[in-house]
């Protein structure tokens, strides 16, 4: 995270205490343990901060938060791997990392079971994680293996320099066929786990373009500027064109049943970014899994 202007000139330990609600002593301990980096390097507690410097802080996990244990994840494949990054094609029903209440498989478990060593810069239960996909959203994820890659990729996602492209099958036909949804997102007032377009929420921008139109649905290519939780699902529902099969956000269960879709039709089809250590642009693509491809075949046959 960038150092805010209001902390310019502050001691590092005092700034960490203010930002995270810690005691000055605990902040100093984190710094001494190497859990605080300023512009990618360890610093002393008495160092003075400059506004705009990049701050990486690793906080200990809260009590009871599970840590990833090696366990094979059927259907997950490694698309690319080198010394710094690993790109995976995530199957349905898999989350990025362990969370309280989740008992299913995780991307981290699968990679650890395959012998992949990931960055330890983040929290223990989120090794190498620089972005996430919903459990029932399939497609491409990149994880950091080296500490440098973790820092560079986290910044790239925050600064919106990563090209994230999704395909979504939505109900009906958006009008216009190509457009941008710029609407803030926050937790739904109902407090039931959903998110919604909410005044005062976090800025969220989604670009969409119609790829193929069917009688009852449209295949969209979607590019994200921001990466809010459930962003595509929320924005499409706000347009009254929810992702097919996304019952949480008001999709028609009859259409989903007819097409054989048992989750939201949403796939991270393309991922491009500047390689964190080599500087070259890399891009990866993923084909549709069988359930999503089968739904398109049924639509084309109507």
Q: Average per-residue pLDDT in the chain? A: 91
Query: Which pLDDT belongs to residue 145?
Result: 96
Q: Which two tokens stand for residue 179?
A: 């457009």
Comparison of pLDDT for 127 and 172, the residue scoring more? 172
What residue spans in the chain does CATH classification 3.10.290.10 cover? 5-57
Query: Which pLDDT belongs to residue 51?
Result: 82
Bridge partners of 140? 89
Please state, as a whole number, how many other Cβ atoms lie within 10 Å of the Cβ of residue 166.
24
How much is the pTM?
Answer: 0.78
Query: Which pLDDT belongs to residue 65?
Result: 56
- Report, as an integer, the average pLDDT of 147-156: 94
Question: Pick the catalytic residue: 10, 84, 89, 134?
Answer: 134
Reply yes or no on whether the pLDDT at 241 is more than 60.
Answer: yes
Query: Which pLDDT belongs to residue 61?
Result: 58
Could you write out the DSSP letters of every residue in 81-149?
A: E-SSEEEEEEPTT-BSS--TT--S-BHHHHHHHTT-----SS-GGGTTBS----TT-EEEEEEE-SHHH
Percentage, residues of the chain above pLDDT 90: 66
CATH code: domain 5-57 is 3.10.290.10
Residue 278 CA, distance from chain mean position = 23
- Report, as an integer, the average pLDDT of 155-164: 93
**Which of 81, 85, 7 is closest to 49 using CA atoms?**
7
- Report, as an integer, the average pLDDT of 100-117: 89
Percentage, residues of the chain above pLDDT 70: 95
- Report, as an integer, the average pLDDT of 89-113: 90
Query: Which pLDDT belongs to residue 64?
Result: 54
**Which of 122, 115, 59, 64 is closest to 96 using CA atoms?**
122
Q: Is the dihedral of CA 33, 36, 40, 42 positive or negative?
A: negative
Per residue in 45-64, pLDDT tens?
888 888 878 888 877 655 55
Query: Which pLDDT belongs to residue 269?
Result: 98
- Report, as an integer, the average pLDDT of 191-217: 93
Among 101-115, 132-146, 185-199, name the most confident range: 132-146
Reply yes or no on whether the pLDDT at 237 is more than 70.
Answer: yes
Residue 150 CA, distance from chain mean position = 14
The kind and range of the H/E element at 274 are strand 266-274
Question: pLDDT class for 2, splitting at 50, 70, 90?
Answer: confident
**Which of 170, 232, 245 is closest to 206 using CA atoms?**
232
Fold of the 67-159 domain = Pseudouridine synthase (3.30.2350)
Comparison of pLDDT for 275 and 187, the residue scoring more? 275
Rounded-to-integer distance, Cα 260 and Cα 291, Å: 7
Comparison of pLDDT for 223 and 124, the residue scoring more? 223
Identify the weakest region by mean pLDDT among 67-71, 78-82, 205-209: 67-71
Query: Which pLDDT belongs to residue 182?
Result: 97
Identify the weakest region by mean pLDDT among 41-50, 150-159, 202-211, 264-273: 41-50
In the residue annotation, 192 being an active-site residue is answered as no
Bridge partners of 256? none
- Report, as an integer, the average pLDDT of 244-248: 96
Reply yes or no on whether the pLDDT at 180 is more than 90.
Answer: yes
What residue spans in the chain does CATH classification 3.30.2350.10 cover? 67-159, 164-268+292-301
Query: Which pLDDT belongs to residue 39?
Result: 79
Q: Which two tokens stand for residue 27?
A: 């902040």
Question: pLDDT class for 21, splitting at 50, 70, 90?
Answer: confident
Choices 3.30.2350.10, 1.10.150.120, 1.10.3430.10, 3.20.20.190: CATH for 164-268+292-301: 3.30.2350.10
Q: Beta strands 85-90 and 163-171: pairing type?
A: unpaired
- Report, as an integer, the average pLDDT of 187-209: 91
Question: Is residue 149 within 8 Å of 119, Cβ to Cβ?
Answer: yes
- Report, as an integer, the average pLDDT of 29-53: 84
Reply yes or no on whether the pLDDT at 154 is more than 60.
Answer: yes
């Amino acid at each position: 995270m960038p150092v805010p202007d209001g902390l310019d000139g502050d001691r590092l330990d005092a700034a960490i205490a203010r930002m995270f609600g810690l005691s000055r002593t605990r902040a100093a301990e984190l710094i001494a343990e190497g859990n605080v980096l300023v512009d990618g390097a360890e610093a002393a507690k008495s160092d003075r901060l400059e506004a705009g410097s990049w701050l990486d802080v690793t906080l200990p996990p809260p009590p009871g938060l599970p840590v990833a244990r090696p366990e094979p994840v059927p259907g997950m494949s490694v698309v690319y791997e080198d010394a710094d990054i690993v790109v995976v094609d995530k199957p349905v029903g898999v989350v990025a990392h362990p969370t309280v209440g989740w008992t299913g498989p995780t991307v981290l478990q699968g990679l650890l079971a395959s012998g992949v060593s990931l960055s330890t810069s983040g929290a223990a239960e989120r090794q190498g994680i620089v972005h996430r996909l919903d459990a029932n959203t399939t497609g491409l994820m990149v994880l950091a293996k080296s500490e440098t890659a973790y820092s560079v990729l986290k910044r790239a996602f925050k600064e919106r320099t990563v090209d994230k492209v999704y395909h979504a099958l939505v109900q009906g036909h958006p009008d216009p066929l190509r457009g941008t949804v710029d609407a803030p997102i926050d937790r739904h007032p109902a407090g039931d786990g959903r998110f919604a377009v909410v005044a005062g929420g976090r800025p969220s921008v989604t670009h969409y373009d119609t790829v193929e139109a069917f009688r009852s649905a449209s295949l969209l290519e979607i590019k994200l500027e921001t990466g809010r939780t459930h962003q595509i699902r929320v924005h499409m529902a706000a347009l009254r064109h929810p992702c097919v099969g996304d019952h949480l956000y008001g999709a028609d269960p009859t259409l989903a049943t007819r097409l054989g879709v048992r989750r939201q039709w949403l796939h991270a089809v393309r991922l491009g970014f500047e390689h964190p250590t080599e500087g070259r642009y890399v891009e990866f693509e993923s084909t549709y899994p069988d359930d999503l491809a089968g739904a398109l075949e049924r639509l084309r046959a109507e």
